[in-house]
Amino acid sequence: MRYVRRVRARMRANDAGMTTSEYALGTVAACGFAALLYRVVTSDGVRAALEGVIGKALGVQF
């Protein structure tokens, strides 16, 4: 049982600080993806298509 505890303690010690860098990398990637998505959605072609879809949805008679 002592061996298992020592192994687990070493494994935790080896991972110290890795989660912070992973979160930072994930945050940077998410921000980059959000910027790219914003550029796509605000482009003229996509904007016109979205306005058309919304206009049709609002013009539907119930």
Residue 9, both tokens: 């303690």
CA angle 45, 37, 35 (to 5 degrees): 125
The confidence band for 49, taking pLDDT boundaries of 50, 70 and 90, is very high
Evaluate if residue 60 carries a pLDDT over 90: no
Query: What is the Cα–Cα distance from 32 to 12, expressed in whole angstroms?
Result: 31
Full-model pTM:
0.52
